[in-house]
Structure 1
């Protein structure tokens, strides 16, 4: 675990963690699930997750005591890119890559049909090129790693996109949000950043 006891002049604290699978993005839940509080770190009072990752997803999650971040990151005029490594069933053709790149129809809350905005989609030959701490696991049958970068955050959007394209998701790892990345963090590890590093990495102006 990589961290320090840095505290900004404002008193706010900033963390990035590699959320393991089978853990929700919160500290409390009425359900019997893995919680952020199960991690081996004494988070300061008021720490909360910015955005979320589903329990069955893993990777980069932002935590802070700074209540301003959510508004600045998600409610501002500029959309911020998130990058995911996604392992899907089957071999993905160039035609399907273009379908995902150009926008694909998915079912969203309502329910209604929504067409996703154009986004980055590439095949990944070597997952460690995007996540140095990547750990392989055995997969049965043909499968393809994709790098998907998008600026939208609809509920389970990436999983819905690849399923709509005929390639159900096996594993999903968020590897970056703007310039903040997992780097070599292993599942369950965290790194503490200064406020300057955090804001600059997310490409938002420090209040």
Structure 2
């Protein structure tokens, strides 16, 4: 069987699925609206509706399992509420206690650092408050795990809630200059 692989920039406001039979989700936007994907396509990992950025899709379950494993880094840029200090970034790096499935969970150590403000990211479809309402800052967080809403929970746990979250890298694959909604078919993810 010949497998197909896609790299997409999941826009803000889209679910990381192709359709839903849930009556509450009928007004939602799905990935299938962006491109005519093959029937047996699956998202490798997920980004929640309010997150955006790099999402890989494949028809190969083994490839999906490998990329979802803790062997592959995933990098996120998070715009946080406030000017995040070095101490909070150090807490993120060492692992922090968050809630997961109704229990306390300590995240694994990760890489994290503050970014310069003038990132080259496309405008988000829904505006984020600007600095007139207080400062914001950007942080890069590089994980090898991916619990539900983990980055958002981590930044909140150190006192700096996430306002915008963009996944910019999975392994060696980078978002680069892709635009929201853009879909590229690739031969392989290596």
Residue among 79, 82, 107 paired with 2:74 = 82
What is the aligned-residue RMSD (CA, Å)? Answer: 1.4
Say which of 9, 12, 15 aligns to 2:6. 15
What is aligned with 2:174? 181
Count of matched residue positions in the alignment of Structure 1 and Structure 2: 179
Q: Secondary structure at the match of 2:15?
A: coil
CA drift at 1:79: 2.2
Aligned-partner Cα distance in 1 for 2:122–2:66: 33
Distance (Å, rounded) in 2 between the aligned partners of 1:60 and 1:72: 17
1:42 maps to which residue?
36
Alignment check: 8 A CA contact 1:87 1:143 kept: yes
User: Structure 1 length normalisation: TM-score?
Assistant: 0.82
Structure 2 counterpart SS, 1:160: helix
Partner residue, 2:107 = 116
Which residue number in structure 1 is paired with residue 140 of structure 2?
A: 147
Does structure 2 retain, via aligned residues, the 8 Å contact 1:85–1:127?
no
- 1:135 maps onto 2:122 in alignment: yes
In 2, the alpha carbon distance for the partners of 1:158 and 1:15 equals 24
Deviation for aligned residue 1:143: 0.3
Instruction: Write out aligned runs for 1:153-164 (5 A).
Output: 153-164=146-157
Q: Which has the higher strand share?
A: 2
**CA distance in 1 between partners of 2:41 and 2:96 (Å):** 36
TM-fit CA distance, 1:145: 0.5
CA contact (8 A) 2:58 2:64 kept: no
**In the alignment, what sits opposite 2:28?**
33
Residue pair 2:92, 2:110 contacting (<8 A) in 1 also: yes
1:162 counterpart SS class: helix
Native 8 Å contact 1:19 1:61 kept in 2: yes
What does the per-residue CA deviation read over 1:125-148, in whole Å, with 9 as the maximum and x for residues that have no partner?
0423xxxxx124662421001111
1:96-119 Cα shifts (integer Å, max 9, x gaps): 11111111111111x211111111
Gaps of 5+ in 2: none
**CA distance in 1 between partners of 2:168 and 2:68 (Å):** 18
TM-score computed with the length of structure 2 as normaliser: 0.89
**Residue 44 of structure 2 contacts residue 68 of structure 2 at CA under 8 Å; is this kept in 1?**
no
CA distance in 2, matches of 1:114, 1:44: 37
- 1:117 and 1:64 map into 2 onto residues whose CA distance is 27
- For 1:79 and 1:65, the matched residues in 2 are separated by 20
In 1, are the aligned partners of 2:122 and 2:180 still within 8 Å (CA)? Answer: no
